[in-house]
Amino acid sequence: MNVFKFGGASIKDANGVKNLAAILNEYSKTYPVVVISAMGKTTNALEDVIDNYLYHTSALEASIQVVLDYHNTIISELFLDSEDSIFIAIASIINDLKMFLKTNASTDYNFVYDQIIGYGELLSTTIVSRYLNVLGIQNKWLDVRKYIHTDASYRRANVNWEQTVKDISTLQQHKIIYLTQGFLGANGNCTTTLGREGSDYTAAIFAYALNAKSVTIWKDVPGVLNADPRYFKDAQLLEQLSYSEAIELAFYGASVIHPKTLQPLHQKDITLFVKSFLNPLSKGTKINSDPGLVPAIPCYIVKKNQVLIQISSLDFSYIVEENISDIFNILHRFKMKVDLIQNSAISFSVCVEDVFNNLKHVLEHFSVTYNVTYIPKVTLYTVRHYNSNAINSITKNKNILLQQRTLDTLQIVTK
Of 52, 45, 47, residue with least CA distance to 69: 45
Q: How far apart are CA 243 and CA 119, in angstroms?
A: 32
- pLDDT for res 258: 75
| CATH 3.40.1160.10-classified regions of the chain | 2-220
- When pLDDT is cut at 50, 70 and 90, the band that residue 254 belongs to is confident
- pLDDT for res 173: 74
Beta strands, E only, 1-109:
2-6, 33-36
pLDDT average, residue stretch 353-361: 94
CB 28 within 8 A of CB 239: no
Pick the CATH number of 299-414 from 3.20.20.80, 3.40.50.1000, 3.30.2130.10, 3.40.50.1240: 3.30.2130.10
- When pLDDT is cut at 50, 70 and 90, the band that residue 400 belongs to is very high
- When pLDDT is cut at 50, 70 and 90, the band that residue 409 belongs to is very high
pLDDT average, residue stretch 327-331: 97
pTM beyond 0.75: the answer is yes
- pLDDT for res 202: 98
| CATH 3.30.2130.10-classified regions of the chain | 299-414
- When pLDDT is cut at 50, 70 and 90, the band that residue 292 belongs to is confident
**CB count, 10 Å around CB of 77?**
13
Beta strands, E only, 209-270:
214-219, 240-242
- pLDDT for res 319: 94
Q: How much is the mean pLDDT over the chain?
A: 95
**At residue 105, does pLDDT exceed 90?**
yes
pLDDT average, residue stretch 290-310: 92
- When pLDDT is cut at 50, 70 and 90, the band that residue 364 belongs to is very high
Determine whether the annotation assigns residue 145 to a binding site: no
What is the share, in percent, of the chain residues with pLDDT greater than 70? Answer: 100
- pLDDT for res 220: 87
Q: Which residue has better confidence, 349 or 316?
A: 349
**Helices 42-55 & 119-135, crossing angle to 10 degrees?**
140
Burial code (b: 16+ CB inside 10 Å, e: under 16) for 36-75 equals bbbbbebbebbbbbbebbeeeeeebeebbeebbebbbebb
Tens digit of each residue's pLDDT (9 = 90 or more) over 133-161: 999 999 999 999 999 999 999 999 999 99
pLDDT average, residue stretch 89-112: 97
Tens digit of each residue's pLDDT (9 = 90 or more) over 180-197: 999 999 999 999 999 867
Write phi, then psi, for 168 (nearest 5 degrees). -65, -35
**At residue 26, does pLDDT exceed 80?**
yes
**At residue 304, does pLDDT exceed 80?**
yes
pLDDT average, residue stretch 189-211: 94
Alpha helices in 226-291 (DSSP H): 243-252, 262-267
- pLDDT for res 275: 96
Q: Tally the C-alpha atoms within 13 A of residue 223's C-alpha that lie toward its C-beta.
A: 20
Write phi, then psi, for 110 (nearest 5 degrees). -65, -40
Q: How far apart are CA 234 and CA 226, in angstroms?
A: 9
pLDDT average, residue stretch 250-254: 86
- 356: burial class by Cβ within 10 Å (0-12, 13-18, 19+)? middle
Q: How far apart are CA 384 and CA 254, in angstroms?
A: 11
Pick the CATH number of 2-220 from 3.20.20.70, 3.40.50.2300, 3.40.50.10420, 3.40.1160.10: 3.40.1160.10
- Run of H or E including 332: helix 321-333
- pLDDT for res 134: 96
